[in-house]
Amino acid sequence: MKRTYAIAIIALTALAAGPAEAFRLEPGLWRFTTTTNMSFNPNAKTDTRTQCITPDNADDILKELTAAACKVSDRTETSDQLKWKMECHQGGPKDPPMRGTGEINSHGESLDGRMDMALEVQGNRMTFNSTWKGKRLGECTSATKPTPKP
């Protein structure tokens, strides 16, 4: 369950500049707020974080999701919208996969999106619904730029 929330956070924090025809965010300092609702927990979880999106961290958002044991399919994108389907295998080969869809919409200096995932366990359906909003706060500073990976 925590991995689903982590996947939603990765989806937000991995956003970066891309090719002209691809989904694109303006590099800079962004604040992202994610709210996750789970069918088995009446309390929504909200997380807000600030991240510097640089031209250098232009890795594909869906590549980040794939690295989290998820397979992406049916990816469609324009310069201001990215949609996908996803299947995630969190446990062993006998554990049921989580399946769902995601969407991010860019509005220049802001964004919104959602990801809806579901898992069947012993005949019970559990759902995870995340929504997010992002706002560009300005330029990155030396204090907010990410440390290069070794």
Task: For 42-60, write each residue's pLDDT tens digit.
Answer: 899 999 999 888 776 544 5
- The pLDDT of residue 13 is 43
Contact between 132 and 10 under an 8 Å Cβ cutoff? The reply is no
Residue 143 falls inside a structural domain: no
- The pLDDT of residue 14 is 43
Indicate yes or no: pTM above 0.95: no
Mapped onto helix, strand or coil, the DSSP state of residue 7 is helix
Residue 106 falls inside a structural domain: yes
The parent domain of residue 68 ranges over 2-138
Residue 36 falls inside a structural domain: yes
- The pLDDT of residue 115 is 92
- The pLDDT of residue 59 is 45
Cite the DSSP H helix spans in 14-70.
61-67
pLDDT reading at 121 higher than 70 = yes
| Cα 96 off chain centre by | 22
Mean pLDDT of the chain, nearest integer: 78
